[in-house]
Amino acid sequence: MLAILGLIVGIVLGIVLQPAVPSVLQPYLPIAIVAAMDALFGGARAYLERTFSDKVFVVSFFSNVLIAAVIVWVGDLIGVGAQLSTAVVVVLGIRIFTNAAAIRRVLVHA
């Protein structure tokens, strides 16, 4: 319940305050969001499978975001940022859909 309350408070604060993202960080924001979504879906799957650990979730959440951002940053440094961004989104997208399918199987037994 506390997590849902935190999510609601975060969404409301984001809507009310409308924080500005510095232009230097804007290329990394979509990648960070996809990486965070991967961690969230993985956490939801682990919760439904009764293997959830809050420590693992927090470490997974922040490490996913950091690793994805570093991959894109290195790609920008060597001139292939767009290609590595696409690769990160594809890999994390596959993981998100895999976790979503597992969640669906647990919820509807199909």
pTM given for the model? 0.82
pLDDT band at 105 (very low <50, low <70, confident <90, very high): very high
Q: Could you give the CA distance from residue 44 to residue 95 in angstroms, rounded to a whole number? A: 13
Question: Is 1 a residue whose pLDDT tops 70?
Answer: no
Q: DSSP letter at 21?
A: P
As a whole number, the mean pLDDT across the chain is 91
Three-state secondary structure call for residue 105: helix
So what's the pLDDT on residue 42?
94
Range 98-105 average pLDDT: 95
pLDDT digit string, tens, across residues 66-83: 999 999 999 999 999 888
Quickly count: other Cβ atoms within 10 Å of residue 84's Cβ. Answer: 18
